[in-house]
A and B are shown apart, each in its own frame.
Chain A
Amino acid sequence: MVEKLLMYLQYPFVQYALIVGVLIALCSALLGVILVLKRFSFIGDGLSHVAFGAMAIAAVLGISNNMLFVLPVTVICAILLLRTGNNTRIKGDAAIAMISVGALAIGYLLMHLFSTSSNVSGDVCSTLFGSTSILTLTPVEVWLTIGLSVVVLGVFIFYYNTILSVTFDESFAHGTGTKVSLYNLLIAVLIAVIIVIAMNLVGSLLISALVIFPALSAMRVFKSFKGVTVCSAFVSVFCALAGIIISIATSTPVGSTIVAINIFVFLIFYVVGLVKR
């Protein structure tokens, strides 16, 4: 068993998968803390469906490098959604649900009508639930992910204190001179970028899980923002590593395996939280 794993670790595609998996897990966990606290848990879901719809459109239009289309569309939607959420919460919720369902339906419809592939439902399934594409990453994709992750991490660490202030109390932060709308914009862009990258890993349907589970687990147990943030990052990285290795060893689907482990860890933290209290 161990020998088999060590053998797998020799392959570049496994190394790539692990690097990308860990980085995406790290970034989505950090942003997840903000989104869960801001009551935007569903934005991950909504945006991933938007990205799915955009991919379908890109395929129909025959755009060869679909990232160039999918990323801007998702970023714009993220900005619009986070903006509506600012003023009136209920409308923001409804907007997310509407865009989420709408993009999913239109995306599937387009793929069904225009796809040249003989296996439409197979294609859809792999976009939604994550394909084996994490095991077929090219060095360019790996470097792209590394670059974007470094940017996300850098921004998060540099603006950590401001992020805490704005997340806890937007009115106070705004009133004492923090440029709140700028930070909301920044967070919207970051989350869109992460979601588009993460689609390679777990597919659009399971991104929400990657965003919310580590944060929710950490919040069960830790009592400071720093504790929650750091713990959430560790939990997420651990689950991603374990998930990828298990899925390679037992040939289960990568995304679903990672989420299953996340659920398991959440249950453990939930119990620990109850005991501690």
Chain B
Amino acid sequence: MALIQCKNLTLGYDHKKLIEQLSFSVEQGDYLCIVGENGSGKTTLMKALLGLINPIKGSIIRGDGLKPKEIGYLPQQTIVQKDFPASVKEIVLTGCQGRMGLRPFYSKAEKQLAKDNMEKMDITDLANRCYRDLSGGQQQRVLLARALCATQKVLLLDEPVSGLDPKVTEEMYRLISQLNRRDNITVIMITHDIEAAVKYSSHILHIGDSTFFATNKEYQKTDFYKSFAEEKEGI
């Protein structure tokens, strides 16, 4: 059974439909990239996968005993976060909220989990620094460590490299790829960067005028990708 399966999904707000009749499934260990124009509904789809908004029609089925709380999420950055006065440690720990239930304070095990994930993201030396004083790349690592505290299984990443310079972007992609391969964490990532999608992902979901779901290999055979690649050559 698939980890996440979407059947005939229609998404939108009020009366405006953004995505219609979308079906696809994600297996454990997949690396799915969602590409498409600005405003095509990528973030909306991700929110539906998280259960933050309800689909207009269709269904999202979680398999393999995946609980809603076991999904790690890295949202698009908001202005509130940019100058938030909290230490890195405090923010990574909030990733453990989902598993706390009504217990008000973090346990030893949760503090250790946060520590381990900071180690994994190579931000241990930043633990007591203030989030707002970090560079964009460091901030994304902090948010990734937080997401890892929430999940062992699935990461949902919404444009994790936007606003980062090329070198840091490449590092970020490699880090995510490593989590996917070494720790067998399923990754679903939104990106503008079709090149990176083709380079790292196993599957690609294209949203826009034409919406289609394909494996990486199939995607590279589509007319859309060919014209994209030709244009790229042209430059």
Contact = CB atoms under 8 A, between A and B. Distances in A.
B38 interface: no
B90 A172 contact: no
Contact of B80 (A165, A168, A226): A168
A158 B104 contact: yes
Contacts of B47: 171, 175
Given A168-B84, A168-B86, A171-B73, 13 more contacts: A157-B104, A158-B104, A159-B104, A161-B105, A169-B78, A172-B146, A172-B147, A175-B50, A175-B51, A176-B98, A178-B97, A178-B98, A222-B85
B97 A173 contact: yes
A223 B130 contact: yes
Interface in A142-187: 157-162, 164-165, 167-169, 171-178
Interface in B186-219: none
Given A39-B80, A176-B97, A161 B106 contact: yes
B81 interface: yes
A39 B82 CA distance: 12
Contacts of B36: none
Contacts of A169: 75, 78, 80-81, 94
A173 B84 CA distance: 16
Nearest to B75: A171
In the A-B complex, the 5 residue pairs with the smallest Cβ-Cβ separation, listed nearest first, are: A223-B130, A176-B98, A177-B69, A165-B94, A224-B87
B71 interface: yes
B121 interface: no
Contacts of A172: 73-75, 94, 146-147
A168 B69 contact: no
11 contacts: A37-B80, A157-B104, A161-B104, A161-B105, A169-B94, A171-B75, A174-B50, A176-B72, A223-B130, A224-B86, A225-B87
B80 A164 contact: no
Interface in B92-135: 93-95, 97-98, 100, 104-106, 128-130, 133
Contacts of A134: none
A223 B80 contact: no
Contacts of B73: 171-172, 175-176
Contacts of A174: 50, 52
Contacts of A225: 85-87, 90
Nearest to A33: B85
Given A162-B97, A168-B81, A168-B91, A176 B86 contact: no
The size bracket of the interface on A is: 20 to 34
B63 interface: no
Interface of A: 37-39, 157-162, 164-165, 167-169, 171-178, 219, 222-228
Nearest to B130: A223
Contacts of A38: 80
A176 B93 contact: no
B85 A164 contact: no
Given A38-B80, A39-B80, A223 B94 contact: no
B98 A177 contact: yes
B130 A224 contact: yes
B151 to A, nearest CB: 8
Interface in B147-164: 147, 150, 156
A167 B80 CA distance: 8
Residue of B94, B105, B128 contacting most chain A CB atoms (<10 Å) = B94
A116 B97 CA distance: 55
B94 A173 contact: yes
A228 B97 CA distance: 21
A160 B75 contact: no
Contact of A168 (B94, B98, B130, B147): B94
A40 to B, nearest CB: 10
B95 A161 contact: no
A171 B78 CA distance: 10
Nearest to B90: A225
B94 A175 contact: no
A149 to B, nearest CB: 19
Contacts of B84: 37, 168
Interface string B41-70: 000000100111000000000000000110
